[in-house]
Amino acid sequence: MKHIHSLPAVGLVLWSLPALSQNAIDLDGLDDQVVVANGSGQIANATGFSMTCWVYPTRNANWPNMEAFAGFRDNTECDFYLLQTYGTTMEGRFRNSANTVFTLDSVGLLTLNTWQHVALTYDGSTLTMYHDGVPVGSTPANGTIATSTGIFRIGNMPIPGSTQIFLDGRVDEVTLWRRGLTEQELSCIMQYGADPSDEDLRLYYRLDQGTADGNNPGLTTVTDLAGNQNGVLQGAALSGTSSNWVAGVPMAGTISATICSGGSYQLGDETLTEAGTYVRTLPTAGGCDSLVVVDLSVIPVNVGVVQNNLTLIAQAPNPATWQWVDCDAGFTLIPGATQQFYNATANGDYAVIVQQNGCADTSICLSVTTVGLEERSLFDARVWFDRVSGGLELDLGPSVTMAQVEVYDPSGRRAAITRLQRGGRHTWPLVGLTSGTYVAVLRAGDGVVRYPFVIP
């Protein structure tokens, strides 16, 4: 067998979708929440901090049934949160370590049963609230959060000594930053997701876990893509279309791509050839350095070839097409050689181009060196496959009185053997052989006849 680099893939198939729905978490408004113990340690004593997330509220709020999105709340020295208050009003609040409170409210802002991006930023002097990338309120603010023991929560914002405020809705792409984000940065995050390599990104919960609407028992660890603190999902049923992992917000930075076997996908300056999920940080439109996730799948093309002396058998089954080529002549197409098998008529190196599943690829080259040595024609002998009887017809002619016939399967293994004790016409039923390409080898004296055939 001679190994030569195969031909480039033929008929490359490649497509991508600009956005795919990734997963999110659906919370039931009763007891579901994500808890990150001591989460305030990620922003303690920082001169600025920010929080962003996608939310999908499903009901109007009213005391005491407020709808909490995400953040910290202890009502004494560590408040930084976003929640839905009365009706569809959104509230953002910052309470510093001196128990000074700064609050923003935007009446009628939220839309029920719709994904929307919300953010709260503090740059050391101003608290600003955003909705779908647009500032909807700001107020002067000062101070820091000094405590490192505040609990960061998603879907609940308890009022100490009073009540819990559980969200009935969905949350996705939750981030916590150790700086005040700019409007341009928020636009990038909203479109493409956050850059997990940014050192100021302290918590990043993409919430792309589990099987959407499926059975996800025990899947309660909420992964922090920033690598600092995983959260814990509490109370969720983790089965069905609510209180579970569900389909999330479409993100522009997620791409589904499919290539043919032997093809490639270019991700930045990286060439991908294997199936898998690739997470990279790349420059995107508008000066964003954001996360790009590529889910790459590869359409397989079976380019396996089994050699039986002069006969080469392609392993790709129907539906497929085959074109045999002469490797020594610069991969020249061999006229008429378009069957699943090829009987070499001259010594040399041969390969096959296989088209399968809308793609094409080329096998390695295999060497044939026995033409004229073993293969001596039996002029009187004939072999053929009868599709009606499903067996081999063998005519030894008048000069052959004894012969042995072997059948080799597509893997090159001998699948059947028989001996003929007289000349003339014989029928050999082939019992137990499955569909595929086979080679019958008839030997009589010093002569050999090889006959490739296909069992449909």
What are 387-407's pLDDT values in tens digits? 777 888 888 877 777 888 888
Confidence band of 160 (pLDDT split at 50, 70, 90)? confident
As a whole-number percent, the residues of the chain with pLDDT over 70 amount to 90
What pLDDT sits at residue 287?
63
Q: Is the dihedral of CA 76, 177, 37, 69 positive or negative?
A: positive
Domain boundaries, the chain: 23-251, 305-368, 382-455
E-strand stretches of 141-223: 152-154, 168-177, 201-205, 221-222
DSSP state of 262: T
Query: What does the alpha-carbon distance between residue 57 and residue 251 come to, in Å, rounded to a whole number?
Result: 18
What would the mean pLDDT of 152-171 be, rounded to a whole number?
90
Tokens of residue 331, six digits? 């991969």
Q: Is the pLDDT of residue 315 over 90?
A: no
Query: What does the alpha-carbon distance between residue 72 and residue 365 come to, in Å, rounded to a whole number?
Result: 65
Query: CATH number of the domain at 382-455, please?
Result: 2.60.40.3080
Q: Which amino acid is at 193?
A: G
Query: What does the alpha-carbon distance between residue 12 and residue 258 come to, in Å, rounded to a whole number?
Result: 10
pLDDT top residue among 163 and 111: 111
Q: 263-294: per-residue pLDDT in tens?
A: 888 887 889 989 988 877 766 655 666 667 78
If residue 188 lies in a helix (H) or strand (E), which one and from where to where? helix 183-192
Q: How many CB atoms lie within 10 A of CB 208?
A: 20
What would the mean pLDDT of 49-70 be, rounded to a whole number?
94
What would the mean pLDDT of 150-169 be, rounded to a whole number?
90
Q: What kind of fold does domain 23-251 have according to CATH?
A: Jelly Rolls (2.60.120)
Cα 12 from chain centroid (whole Å): 19
Query: What does the alpha-carbon distance between residue 283 and residue 1 come to, in Å, rounded to a whole number?
Result: 46
What pLDDT sits at residue 1?
35
Q: 206-240: per-residue pLDDT in tens?
A: 999 999 999 999 999 999 999 999 999 999 999 99
What pLDDT sits at residue 252?
63
The candidate with the shortest Cα–Cα distance to 135, out of 11, 50, 32, is 50
Q: Checking phi first, is residue 397 left (phi over 0); if not, alpha (psi -120 to 50) or beta?
A: left
What would the mean pLDDT of 336-365 be, rounded to a whole number?
90
pLDDT top residue among 309 and 289: 309
Query: What does the alpha-carbon distance between residue 274 and residue 299 come to, in Å, rounded to a whole number?
Result: 10
What would the mean pLDDT of 155-179 be, rounded to a whole number?
92
What would the mean pLDDT of 45-69 be, rounded to a whole number?
94
Query: What does the alpha-carbon distance between residue 106 and residue 86 come to, in Å, rounded to a whole number?
Result: 10
Q: Is the pLDDT of residue 421 over 90?
A: no
CA angle (211 as vertex; 210, 213 as ends), nearest 5:
120
Q: Is the pLDDT of residue 378 over 60?
A: no
Average pLDDT value for the chain: 86
What would the mean pLDDT of 350-376 be, rounded to a whole number?
81
